[in-house]
Structure 1
């Protein structure tokens, strides 16, 4: 599929060239712009203007690997990644020795969190509420984790009594519980202290 007409043989280092989109992509842009006028922000926020970052699309950025190791190739934004991680570590009062990285989205974050849980508790059973994002059950399946779906309360919060009942039936194995902080449909927040 051709995306650009009159594309130069080499992409410029800075965003000095404005390639012309094909009619198909012009139509897509028109469709998306029209739809954005009535979007309420589902499934993602629509009040963020990313256009000022447009010039960065003209260069390859690759934050491969550990955020605290810059690596050999200079085409990365790991300094910004570290600043972002520090910001959220302070916001959530992360304990000393915390680690992490910026994922490409919630699905990868869910997968990575469950992978860490499975790594620490290889014999664990994974529990998630019926309101959990679909990527949770998908990641549990990909990681080979036995998975239990827990009922939800009318507000979308995990049903703590059902969690206790389900976990009680599997007392001989450790538990990995995915708690929601803002479910997709009701924005319910599971009480981590109560889950514990």
Structure 2
């Protein structure tokens, strides 16, 4: 059985979650959105398993020693990791895996798996700053940290299989959907 695996990579606030939600709605029972682990606190509206498994720092480190994760990284001071069992569970069911991931994690997975990586670009830095300001309620420290990370990620975008500029959600989604459909047709 072919193992289809898509990584959606890009800075915070670029629209990755919106694009993935559309794919999941358009391709029910064909695409699997992995649930990853994190050490960050649960936000309002989140619950265990949606969108993460929330772990203590100690438990996360125990799991890394057990080789539990396919990849893990520290992003904005918190640990994030992808359980190997999440990937295997999806492939056993014949799903295409789609994963929203930071560039660090993507680079690790690119070394170890045959996959398609798609970098989602903001139309320009000003629009990204505006989105991040809205997300972080204008907290300057968060914005500065996210912008530093965004610039580093954008500099590594060329390492991905494809790049899509999200200057219009409909256009960006059409490009992403085409890539996914091509992959699903090969399964």
Normalising by structure 1, we get a TM-score of: 0.30
Greater strand share, 1 or 2? Answer: 2
Return the structure number with greater relative CO, CA threshold 8 A, min gap 6: 2
* Higher alpha-carbon Rg: 1
Normalising by structure 2, we get a TM-score of: 0.31
Greater helix share, 1 or 2? Answer: 2
